[in-house]
Structure 1
Amino acid sequence: MDRARLSAIAHRWHPVAAPVSGEGLHRLLDRLDPPPQGRVLDLGCGSGAWLVPLVAAHPGLTGVGVDTSGPALDAARDRAAMAGVLGRVEFVAADAATWRAGRFDAVVCVGATHVFGGPAGTLAALRGHLRPGGRVLFGDGFWEAGPSPAALAGLGAGPGELPDLPGLLAELGRAGLEPGYGHLSTRAEWDEYEWCWTGALTEWALTEAPDADREAALEAARAHRRQWLEGYRGELGFLTVVLHDRDG
């Protein structure tokens, strides 16, 4: 199966492509607090789960979301239309690592550091899009415990690929960004996210998938479930944090 299509199906039940609840998402967006007439950018926007409610909550705000996934961008445009903000938000099919369009008052990047080669590259890129004094909403994984060999195998990661939480916070500081309000995903949020990911894909495979895709989708759900339950569950953490431009 096409990877982008598989991911879009797997996120049907949990459109936020991170272990963050709806309540946590809205609290973080409130703390981001962009200017009333500002511009906001979401790099790796997926289906618009962060950008659309942010724009909807601020009538003068405009936004741009950038992603390479056609199915996710289609879902984002549908979400924007349902929220009545399609005229104030644009979704662009492009590589977030190379796309440029001026400076923004706020930049969102949650769960997409792989696009930029890790946290350091991501933070440098975000600063490049941010106007002086702007704010960033950033989310990434870290090792909460371990990592054990099983966790590394489940995530497909090397021993030094992810930091621990103090290491991640230090990386933020080196980028000239000051952590403000943050959210550490709970075990319940992780479990809800993973069960939704595997469950949505399984249900699609058994009720909607063409015969040619059915077994591939089921195997993708089984593999993901094994990687989570036998691998990184309880060891992989996730931080989502509002960052202030310290030098602005």
Structure 2
Amino acid sequence: MGRRTLVRLAHSEHPIAAPLSDARVDDMLTRTTRGRRRVLDLGCGDGTWLLRALRHDPGLTAVGVDTSDVGFEKTMREAALVGLADRLTLVQGDVRRFMADAPFDAVLSVGAAYAYGGLEPTLEAARGHLAADGLLLLGDCFWPVPPTAAVLEGLGGASPDEYLTLPDTVDLVTRHGWVTVYGHVSTQEEWDDYEWSWTGAPARWAVENPDHPEAGEVLAAVEAHRDGWLRGYRGGLGFVTLVLHPGRAAVAAR
């Protein structure tokens, strides 16, 4: 089974590929992009974050970059249906090599730090794309408590240094010169809704399409993921979304 098939199915009922409720997504976008002109999403997935932002702000244009183009076609069709396609550009490519001709007023990187190899290089990359008075919406996992062997195994053999604690995550951001102006820690309800959707949608597809050649493999992958979550990292993995200002150096330069 291709990873593309599983990802497409897993996010079909929870298009935001992060444990945030719809209301919280709207709130975080309002705090980051409202009233701005250009927004960039580094590791945009299928572009859903950007489509949501465009729906709320008629003066905004958006660019998304991701190594995979899974979901791009669907998102662009949705954008065309509501008259937003001319304000949305989705680019398949390596975010580390993406170049723009001008800085952006807002940058998003939610659950995509892996594309840069960690949180620190993600922060540096975002700064390189952001205007001096812009804002960064950053989302990443953290350890709410020291990870147990079951948590690490449930995450596919993660290492204890994969993430930091919440205080250490915010400290790292601060050491890199950013100022945290708002934050949200995903609730257990948000996590559960995300994971039940992630596993439930592919499972439903598999049982409704039993003759499809990938049905059995999809169901097995879903059951393995759900087992890793329920027996492993449920309650042992946190997710924080931060609204960040580029900091004192940027302020002084203005």
Question: What is the CA–CA distance in structure 2 between the aligned matches of 1:85 and 1:212, rounded to whole Å?
Answer: 37
For 1:152, the equivalent position in structure 2 comes to 152
Alignment of 1:179 with 2:171, yes or no, is no
Matches within 5 A, 1:199-210: 199-208=200-209
**SS in structure 2 at match of 1:223:** helix
Aligned length: 247
* 1:27 match: 27
Question: What is the alpha-carbon distance in structure 1 between the residues aligned to residue 5 and residue 79 of structure 2?
Answer: 20
> What is the aligned partner in structure 1 of residue 97 from structure 2?
98
Quote the residue 2:244 is aligned against. 243
Query: Aligned residue for 2:235?
Result: 234
Retained in 1: the 8 A contact 2:46–2:69? no
Q: For the residues of structure 1 that align with 2:176 and 2:140, how far apart are their CA atoms? A: 15
Percent identity between the aligned chains? Answer: 45
Q: Secondary structure at the match of 2:196?
A: helix
Deviation per residue, 1:197-218 (Å, 9 max, x gap): 0000111112247632011100
User: Do the aligned partners of 1:151 and 1:235 also contact (CA within 8 Å) in 2?
Assistant: yes
- Please tell me whether residue 221 in structure 1 is matched to residue 227 in structure 2: no
- The answer for the alignment partner of 1:169 in structure 2 is 170
Provide the rounded CA distance (Å) in 2 between the counterparts of 1:173 and 1:244.
Answer: 10
Of the structure 1 ranges 107-116 and 83-92, higher mean CA displacement relative to structure 2 is found in 83-92
Alpha-carbon offset, residue 84 of structure 1: 2.2
Q: CA RMSD, aligned part only? A: 1.4
TM-score by length of 1: 0.95
Contact conserved, 2:16 with 2:49, CA < 8 A, in 1?
A: yes
Residue segments in structure 1 that go unaligned for 5+ positions in a row: none
Structure 2: state its 5+ residue gaps.
none
Helix, strand or coil at the partner of 1:45: coil
Instruction: Confirm or deny: 8 A CA contact 1:19 1:185 kept in the other structure.
Output: yes
> 1:72: how far off?
2.1
Contact 2:210 2:216 in 1 (8 A): no
Which has the higher mean CA deviation after the structures are superposed, 93-102 or 197-206? 93-102
CA offset digits 1:29-87 (Å, max 9, x no partner): 11114444x11001111122211111221111111011122222123213322332111
Amino acid in structure 1 at the alignment position of 2:88 = V
